[in-house]
Amino acid sequence: MIFNKLLLILLFISFFNLFSQEETKENLQEVIITSTRIEIPFSKTSKKITIINAEDIKKSTATNLTDLLQGVEGIDIIKRGTNGMQSDIKIRGGNFQQTLILIDGFKTEDPQTGHHTMNMMIPLENIERIEIIKGSAARVFGQNAFTGAINIVTKKTNKNQLSLNSSYGSFNYQKGEIIASKQFDKINILAYFSQQKSDGYRENTDFINNNYFIKSSFKTKKEPINLIASFADRKFGAQYFYTPPSYNFKEYEETETSLVGLSTKYKFSKLTLKPKIYWKRNQDMFLLKRDEPSFFRNHNISNKVGAELNSSYISKIGATGFGVDFAKVSLASSNLGDQNRTMLNAFIEHRYVTKSKKLDFTPGIAFSYYSDFGFQTFPGLDVGFKMNDNTRLFWNIGSSYRAPTYTEMYYNSPSTQGNVDLKPEKAVSQEIGVKYNSNKLSFNTSVFYRVSTDLIDYVKTNSGSVYFKAENLRTIRTKGIELGSNYKFKMRSFHQKIKIGYTFLEDDYAEIDVFQSRYILENTIKHH
């Protein structure tokens, strides 16, 4: 089957190679990819990267980030509640713990559980573009970028404005938002506030959601100092979020999520330094029975303080990216106990382009230390071949790693048990494909293959098991093919765009022997 798909790719290569030779090349406004250690134009990347720009967002029918990402090939989203109240993002058959979300390059993963990954959803009005890296990104970002990473790049303040909007709907739905921005001599500020609330479309689906967002830029003699601050406050009925309907629990949850980050850039003749410092906090209160709070109550407060230094150096033999990041994580929990983790990552990679400027190689390696799991390494290699100005072949291989969350290790409830003996997840992923880009048409297709070991899931080992328990599963092999295309055209003076995407997934569970799985074995979508 893989051979047939490779043959299909070669046919597409031949077709688009001939097509591009007949087309006049126009100057395209290049997007510089910031979610890589070495910043390079989108057309020169040797990985599968999807870009959603501000124009795409404006023309979409999506009202929140979850709905917007749902339309991207290879991304599957499990929604709970309405209006994106809680969502789990999966890339290419992975689970919700294996996708890393970044906001302006700041990591937002939560040590308690991946269910909190999307707690802080940046409003669509504040997004400049979204960069989606599919496949292993651990070499670039460390753990949690197991199957991919999504970097949300927010808009810059470039004008003075004040905007007020409101809307109403069924089930007493109400939304109000304020957007204000101001430019001063040395400071630019953008501020956003919104509130959404509803009584819910059925019992225990009510919610209230407050979002606060500030982005500011402080001008200096050289590069500006950038500040980002975001706070999300949610209260919602979590009907059937974590337990099946047969339990008839009226679950309820409250979350508060904060992110504050500072970043800047120092540019020299050949060297660029990009330091960052940040703090992320998440507070979560969960009731298994809303009408009986004393039955089971879980309260958690997690904090993460981190600092990063990303660097790149341009020499005669190419571009070298290197740097370090350090983070200290803590958790205070009524159910999971008090936990601490120290993380240190160092990385280096080098991009070499041959004299013909057609072939490029980017080998790299990341070294990671976790105070509770020791040292790990993530080697990888990206290879690209430029067939012509429009068409590019690529192949990459890389390893991934994910340490267990504190919920997976220590959680204890009437229906679910953690496991302190869990081992980290590991995987090796590779991909081969072709990309074609012109002013009107863009097309990409690729075949990918991932071998994962010790994947973590909550399972029942037999029909008599009373509760789900977190366990390491044995080897799972995932293979698939992905197609994506965009075509721009004009109709009656209006600019139009047609987007088509498709992903096929096939998992081999031959080595897995469990009676029931909560996530991995139950929620894989074969066609998307």
Q: What is the pLDDT along the chain (528 residues), one digit of tens a residue?
A: 544 554 455 445 544 444 444 443 434 446 777 667 788 887 788 888 899 999 899 888 888 899 999 889 999 998 888 777 888 899 998 988 999 999 999 999 999 998 898 888 788 988 999 999 998 888 888 778 899 999 999 998 778 999 999 999 999 999 999 999 999 988 999 999 999 999 999 999 999 999 999 999 999 888 899 999 999 999 999 888 877 787 788 999 999 999 999 999 999 999 999 999 999 999 999 999 999 999 989 999 999 999 999 999 999 999 999 999 999 999 999 999 999 999 999 999 999 999 999 999 999 999 999 999 999 998 999 999 999 989 999 999 999 999 999 999 999 888 889 999 999 999 999 999 999 988 889 999 999 999 999 999 998 877 777 788 999 998 999 999 999 998 888 887 777 888 899 999 998 887 777 778 778 776 566 766
User: Helices H, strands E: what count in the chain?
Assistant: 5, 31
The full length of the chain comes to 528
- HSE, side-chain direction, 13 A CA sphere, residue 379: 1
CATH number at residue 244: 2.40.170.20
What HEC string does 275-298 produce?
A: EEEEEEEEEEEEECCCCCCCCCEE
Residue at 525 is within a domain: no
231 lies in some domain:
yes
- What is the predicted pLDDT for the residue at 21? 44
Nearest to 459 by CA among 520, 418, 518, 404: 518
244 in a domain, yes or no?
yes
Residue 528, in any domain of the structure: no
- From the list 273, 46, 267, 38, the residue with the least C-alpha distance to 140 is 38
How much of the chain, in percent, has pLDDT values that exceed 90? Answer: 60
Is the residue at 524 inside a domain? no
Q: Is residue 204 part of a domain?
A: yes
One DSSP character per residue, 105-128 reads TEE---SS-GGGTTSS---GGGEE
Model pTM score: 0.91
E strands, 6-157, are 32-33, 40-41, 49-53, 75-80, 86-91, 99-103, 106-107, 127-134, 148-154
Give the whole-angstrom CA distance, residue 61 versus residue 63: 7
Residue 523 lies in a domain: no
pLDDT at 522: 63
Cα-based torsion angle of the residue sequence 139, 144, 145, 150 in order, rounded to the nearest 10 degrees: -140
The pLDDT score that the predictor gives to residue 467 is 84
Q: What is the pLDDT of residue 30?
A: 65
- The pLDDT of residue 463 is 76
Q: Which of 378, 384, 381, 386 is nearest to 396 (CA)?
A: 381
Our measurement of the distance from residue 376's CA atom to the centroid of its chain's CA atoms, rounded to an integer in Å, reads 22
Decide: 123 and 192 in contact? Cβ < 8 Å: yes
Q: Which domain holds residue 282?
A: 2-517
Q: What single-letter DSSP state applies at residue 527?
A: B
Q: Would you say residue 338 lies in a domain?
A: yes
As for how many domains the chain has, the answer is: 1
